[in-house]
Each structure stands twice: as structure tokens, then as C-alpha cells.
Amino acid sequence: MNYGEGVANKWRNDPVYTAVAHFFDCYLTRRDAAATLAMLPDDFCSVGTGEGEIAVGKAAFAELLRTELEQLPDPIGFTIEDYYQKERGENCWHILCSMEMSIDMPDGGQVRYHARVTAGLHRTGTRFWLDTVHASEASKYQQEGEFFPLQYVSRSDEQLSRENRYELLELIGKAMPGGIVGGYHEPGFPLYLANDRLVEMMGYQSLEDYEAGIRGMVLNCVHPEDRGFVFDEIAAAVARNEQYELDCRLKKRDGSDLWVHGIGRKTVTAEGREVVISVLFDMSRQVDAQTSLKLEAVSDPLTGVYNRKGAQARIIEAMQHVSCYLFFMLDLDNFKRINDLYGHQQGDEALRFVAEQLSKRFRSTDMVCRLGGDEFAVFVADCKQLLVIQQKLLHMSDAYCRMMQQRWPEAGSTMSAGGVFGRKHRSFDELYRIADEVLYEIKKGRKGHFKLRVLD
């Protein structure tokens, strides 16, 4: 494995680069199918440089790999050049590089091959997974300054019919992993072209269906909140005669959002009209993974409500805007007896029941969390009616006691709650300390009750 000039010094110790280099080392040099496939998730997708080298799913790639190794088992050396990586979300990356591959021939000679490679990968824990890999070779038909041979679509010695233009577009699009869309560089970007892959990505049945759905304007398929910056980014790139690159949301036919990474630039049609051609890559999986990771970081995996970290962050933020608040902690008395007498699975059921009841009885704007063990907390912003809160807690305590009698009668578990009402801004740690003191007073005296301390 050769890192290439300039690559080794900058990236050699980078874990993302190391994972990418390790993948190609297993795949090309070691020709180790098992090690190569071990780095791929089940929904891995790849596009190679050869006809038919398209694999959707790990199983399909494994079959392509098996055939390749049968036909060419010898090691392939490779050098990585012009390496670039960008984090698209938490623990999700896109990479771009050039690679020179070499094969030693029996006569002592060597065959060299150049390719450009893009890939997407994500990390779970300390393990990296290659989600997508796309290899391409530079087109001899491509003109300097164009990001793919647009002259076949927008420039020709002869005028092309609409049908022929889209037929040629599909031929080009088959070699690319993303959808292609073009709009005239005019207000709203009137539709110039779109390939079948783009139409499919957007959830439409046909080009005509897509054109009608966006009312003939490409900008209409962009999420309303993103249209302003998308227009500004494209306009700035066109003014500089440069390629643009951006991430944005599109609105699919069914109204759902599609996150895409777009690369494009301006060209000119045979009629002399300026058009902006873009290649769009679906990055919804990476965005979903990022959202999921963020949610996991602030959520309790057992109950689905906020964990202590998530609660603390939300309370700190809410404190900046509230005029008054109620913060109370809730503890399940004798909870350990449920685990001891009925098993930990039943104890988990009791915890999920409490979290569900709290989420149902309090507003969506209120913050419910599990602090740990059998301890929960609720933060109610702008709480004006303390009696209503007391009634909610009373009803919840009754529901918990009924559940105990029905399912875990020998445990004798009840519910205690202690809280504070205040107007002065306080830190989470201070709220927790005071509410814990109130809760301790209850548990030391009469369990199964609620007590509130008014601070100011």
C-alpha cells in the first residue's frame, strides 16, 4: 500500500483515512474476500468502472467479488493521491481521492490504471463501515472546466429533440451514482432536464409526473426553508464561473424530505441559454444516522424519555426564557422488591409504565426524563396552576398503585415525589439538589406522597 506524495504526512494517522486504506488493502492487495466483506453493511452499494459492475446490497457485491477473484486473483498494488474527506454528520463521512492501481505481468512488465474514487462511511463505536463506493475514470470527451461531459446534453453540432436529449442523459446517468437535474438559469430554474434516477429518487412515476409536480420549476422541489440559501449558493458560483457544492433538503412527491448532496455548475445550451446542471446524491441515510446518534446520546434506551444529559441541556436552555417553573423528582418506593421477587424484566416493565404515564399526562413542551435507576424527573415551564400538577401526580400515583396490585402485589411499591417551584433562574445541579432534599424528607416520613417547596 502506497499513500502517495503528500497524503502520508497529512492523513496517515487519521482513523477515517486508515479505515479507507485498510479496505482497499484487503480488497485490492491482499485479495481477501472475507476481510473485505467484513467492513460492509448489508445495504452496501457500489458502482465500478466496468459495464455491469453495479452492486446493490452486500450479497450482490459478494457475488461480483467472487467472480472478480476467480478471474483475477493476483494482488493489485495501489497508490492513493489527492485524498479529501468531509464529515457529513456525526460519525459519517464522504471521501474523494485518486488512485493509481498496478498489476505485475508475467513478462516483468506492469499495467497501470488510474481511477477516481468516492465513498461514504460511518462509524459505530470504534468500527468503521463502508456504505458506498463509486469508482470512475476520466472521460476523454470531457472538456476542461466541466464536471461531466455536458456537451452531449446541452451542446451539439445539431439540435437535439427533447426525447433524444433525455436518451443521451440516461446513457451518461447510468455511469453515475446520483440523480441528474438541470434548470435554466432564470427565476425559479425552469426545468431543462432530469434523468430517470432523479425522478425515482423524488418518488415520481415519470418525467412528466415530476414536471407537473414541481410546476415546471426545479426550485419548487427544494424544501421551502432551504430555497433561499440554495438560490444564493448557485448564483454566487455562477457569478464566479465555478462549480458549486451544497447539502439541502428536497420535497418528494409524498411530501417527505430527501437530504441530498449536490454538485453542479453552469453551462450553455445550443440555443445560447444558460443552464445549471446538478448531480444529486441521496444522503438521507447519513443524516438519519446522525439524527439517531444524537437522539441516542440524550435518550434513555429503556424508556425512550430523556436521560440526565438530555434533561440537563434542555433545562439550561429553557431557564433562559421562562417566567416561572416547577421541577420535581419522582421515586419508586421499594422498587428493588419488584426485581427481587419478579425479576428484572418485570422491573423494566414497571419503569416503562411510569415513563409512559408521565409522557401522557404532561404536555409535549414539558420535559420528562429518567435520571437513573427508579428515579424520574419532570420540568414544567411557565407553570401557573400548581393544583393541576398535584392532581396529575395524584392520578398517576393511583394508576401506579393499581398496576402494582394487578401485576406485582407482593412488592408493595408506591410512588413518592418532591419538587420545587421558583421564578429565579437556577442551574440544573441546584434544582436537583433542592428537589432531592424535598424528596428525602418525604421518603423519611410518609412514602407515597407529594411535597412541594416554593422557593421564590
| CATH code 3.10.450.50 region(s) in the chain | 7-136
Residue-level pLDDT at 106: 66
Q: What is the pLDDT of residue 175?
A: 46
The share of the chain scoring above pLDDT 70, in percent, equals 85
What pLDDT is attached to residue 286? 76
Q: What is the CATH number of domain 7-136?
A: 3.10.450.50
299-454: CATH topology:
Alpha-Beta Plaits (3.30.70)
pLDDT at residue 230 in the model: 92
Q: Is the pTM value of this prediction over 0.95?
A: no
Residues of the chain with CATH 3.30.70.270: 299-454
Task: Locate CATH 3.30.450.20 in the chain.
Answer: 151-287
Q: What pLDDT is stored for residue 253 in this prediction?
A: 94
Sign of CA pseudo-dihedral 98, 104, 107, 109: positive
The pLDDT of residue 142 is: 45
Give the pLDDT confidence score for residue 50 in this predicted structure: 64
Tens-digit pLDDT profile for residues 155-178: 333 344 554 454 445 445 554 557
204-253: pLDDT as tens digits: 999 999 999 999 999 999 999 999 999 999 999 889 888 888 899 999 99
- Is the predicted pLDDT of residue 197 greater than 50, yes or no? yes
CATH superfamily for domain 151-287: PAS domain (3.30.450.20)
pLDDT in tens, 92-118: 999 998 888 888 766 666 777 788 899
Mean pLDDT taken over the chain? 84
Given a cut of 50, is residue 145 above it in pLDDT? no
Residues 432-447 have pLDDT tens digits of: 999 999 999 998 888 8
Higher pLDDT, 388 or 332: 332
Looking at residue 293, what is its pLDDT? 63
